[in-house]
Amino acid sequence: MASVDSGAVGFGSAFRRLGLPLLRVAAAIAVLWFLWRHVGAAPFKDGLRAVTWPAVVAALTLTALTTVCSAWRWRVAAQALGIGIDLPAAVRAYYRSLFLNSVVIGGFVGDVHRAVRHGRRSGDVVLGLRAVAWERLCGQVIQAVVTAVVLLTQPSPVRPALPYVLGGIAGVVGCAALVLRHTDRRGRPKLARAIRAVADDLRHGMLAPHVWPQLVLASALVVAGHTAVFVIAARVAGSTAPLGELLALLMVVQAAMVIPLSVGGWGLREGVAAWAFAVAGFGAAAGVTIATLYAVLMLAAVSPGGGLLLRDAVRRRRGKAQPGGSRRPDPAPRALEVVSD
């Protein structure tokens, strides 16, 4: 009986580890298969053939600027929690993160890598994870706000339903807040501590007068940069849609990209692009072509992160090959001392 129980526990643990990644792979494959059945392989090939050197250079330049803004946002969030990192090191770490997110299943492996690495170097992995979590959440909140503003002010196929969607989101958030407050009053220790930690991070960190304006500005610049790359992809792919309507469609696609049901970004992005452009009257094939071209441009744009990861691997290999070479112990906690890479 004990062996059966241990086997069941092992199976359950393996399912928890592999279940969600398999779900993402299955979802991405299902979406891509559906698109292939309805539009064929031609739109994907057109997106690959549309790649030009000027578009690649533009994507590299814009992504470099947005990566600096993202690193700045992360640095501000980390300092608000009491751990520091200098901007050049943050930029390098963010490039690694973007590359891993682009090639590994899940879309957040790079963020975990960045958080753990920074946490270990600063002496507090938990604070490192919290800093990255707040930084990413801030970016997604600002992107949602910008998306709502664009959809409310520009013509789009989902504009009539947007107020109801926003009302539903607000209702869910309100219900969640009430549940958490009720749970806190019942005195469940772990959840109560987590709620207090979140409240402290917000009150004394993210919402501090000298912090939140920087987070908002950095996030807005990041959204603008990524949207600009998408617009370039659309124009290079041959889209003649008016800029306002094009922005509305591309914001819908970017909002869908936040949902982690894809492989390296592939799957849901192309599916939503096909739907949005089809509803707007431009054809599903046009949406797939633009999304494919955008994916290629962004992979080229984050390639410096792959070079940094390769450099790290070479350094580790050389360190192990040297006589007596071994991994140095993690440093002691260093509060606001700036961590360099």
Q: State the DSSP H helix or E strand holding residue 33, giving kind and residue range, or none if neither.
A: helix 2-39
Cα gap 339→341, rounded to integer Å = 7
Cα gap 227→250, rounded to integer Å = 7
Cβ-in-10-Å burial (0-12, 13-18, 19+) of 288 comes to buried
Q: State the DSSP H helix or E strand holding residue 85, giving kind and residue range, or none if neither.
A: strand 84-85
**Residue 48, in any domain of the structure:** yes
The pTM (predicted TM-score) of the whole model is 0.82
How confident is the model at residue 264, as a pLDDT? 73
**Residue 132, in any domain of the structure:** yes
Torsion angle, CA of 106/107/110/114, rounded to 10 degrees? -100
**Residue 255, in any domain of the structure:** yes
| Tally of domains in the chain | 1
Cα gap 234→336, rounded to integer Å = 44
Q: Give exposure, 223-260, as e/b (b: 16+ Cβ within 10 Å).
A: bebbbbbbbbbbebbebebeeebbbbbbbbbbbbbeeb
Cβ-in-10-Å burial (0-12, 13-18, 19+) of 122 comes to buried
Cα gap 163→148, rounded to integer Å = 9
Token pair for 154: 């520009």
How confident is the model at residue 328, as a pLDDT? 45
**Tell me: the pLDDT tens digits for 198-226?**
777 788 778 888 999 999 999 999 999 99
**Interaxial angle between packed helices 268-279 and 243-257, expressed in degrees from 0 to 180 and rounded to the nearest 10:** 150
**Residue 176, in any domain of the structure:** no
Q: Write phi, then psi, for 280 (nearest 5 degrees).
A: -80, -5
**Residue 297, in any domain of the structure:** yes
**Count of residues in the chain:** 341
Cα gap 54→60, rounded to integer Å = 10
**Residue 294, in any domain of the structure:** yes
**Residue 170, in any domain of the structure:** no
Which amino acid makes up residue 120? R
Domain that holds residue 155: 27-163+212-315
Q: Taking Cα atoms as reference points, which of 116, 108, 177, 99 lies closest to residue 139?
A: 108
Spell out, as residue ranges, where the chain has pLDDT lower than 50: 1-9, 11, 15, 326-335, 337
SS3 content of the chain, % helix, strand, coil (to 5): 80, 0, 20
Q: Taking Cα atoms as reference points, which of 83, 71, 67, 72 lies closest to residue 120?
A: 83
Cα gap 183→194, rounded to integer Å = 11
Cα gap 222→209, rounded to integer Å = 21
Q: What percent of the chain has pLDDT over 70?
A: 76
**Residue 169, in any domain of the structure:** no
Residue 115 contacts residue 123 (beta carbons within 8 Å):
no
* CA gyration radius, the chain: 22
Q: State the DSSP H helix or E strand holding residue 62, giving kind and residue range, or none if neither.
A: helix 53-81
How many Cβ atoms sit within 10 Å of the Cβ of residue 308?
16
Within 13 A of 281's CA, how many CA atoms are on the CB side? 7
